[in-house]
Chains A and B, each alone.
Chain A
C-alpha cells in the first residue's frame, strides 16, 4: 500500500485559481474512480470537500471542483479566499484498503 503523491505546497493570491494534483497507480486511482479530497485546518478534523472524483457534499462551496483521469486526480479551487488556506489530502480506495496522499499545504498570499 503506497501513499498517493501530492505536491508539498501550492500558493495563490486571493481571487486566483489553484490546482492540486494527486498521482496514484493502476492499483488505486487507475482502477477506482472514487477519489475524495479533504480540507484540514490546524487542530481540526479533516472535512470532506469532493467525493467520487467530482461530486461536492451539501454545503461545500462550488468554488471547489475535482476531476480524475487515469492515475491522476485534481482538485481546483477558484476565487481563492483567505479561509481556503489549509492542508488538502486526496484519498482513494485501493482494493479492500485505503490510501491517502501525503498532503498539500495551500498558502493564500
Chain B
C-alpha cells in the first residue's frame, strides 16, 4: 500500500522560504511524477509543480520563479522550496503521486496535507 507522509514548518514570516518534504512508503519511486498541490483556506486546488526520479521538473508558470523541487531517491523523498512567501501563500500544501506513463494524468495518492500560514 502506497503512503505519502509530509512534513515542514507550519508558520512562516513574510519573505521567508517555505520548505516541505514528502516521504513515499510502498511502491516504486521511478515511473512517477512527484507533485505539489496547494489549497488556500476555503478555496480550490492549485497545482504547484512536479519532479520525477531523474530530476525532470514541470512548474506552474505563475510560481516558477520562486519554486525549487528536489528528490532524494535513496530515501524515497522529495521536497519543495518556495521563496519569498507572502500571506497569499497561506494554504494547505499537499504532496501527491502522478504516474508518468503516456496518455494518462491522475493524482492517485496524496499526502495528509500541511497547513502553512504566513501572517500579513
Contact residues of A with B, CB < 8 Å?
Answer: 1, 3, 32-34, 36, 38, 45-48, 51-52, 57, 89, 91-93, 96-103
Contact residues of B with A, CB < 8 Å?
Answer: 35, 37, 44-47, 50, 58, 60-62, 94, 103-108, 110-113
B4: nearest residue on chain A (CB-CB)?
A45
Question: In the complex, what distance in Å separates the CA atom of A101 from the CA atom of B37?
Answer: 13
Question: In the complex, what distance in Å separates the CA atom of A52 from the CA atom of B94?
Answer: 22
B residues less than 8 Å from A98 (CB atoms)? 35, 47, 50, 58, 60, 105
The reply to whether B44 and A45 form a contact with Cβ atoms under 8 Å apart is no
Question: In the complex, what distance in Å separates the CA atom of A37 from the CA atom of B50?
Answer: 19
B residues less than 8 Å from A46 (CB atoms)? 45, 94, 107, 110
B residues less than 8 Å from A97 (CB atoms)? 47, 58, 60-61
B40 CB, nearest partner CB in chain A, Å: 12
The reply to whether A34 and B44 form a contact with Cβ atoms under 8 Å apart is no
A44: nearest residue on chain B (CB-CB)?
B113
A residues less than 8 Å from B58 (CB atoms)? 96-98
The reply to whether B111 and A48 form a contact with Cβ atoms under 8 Å apart is no
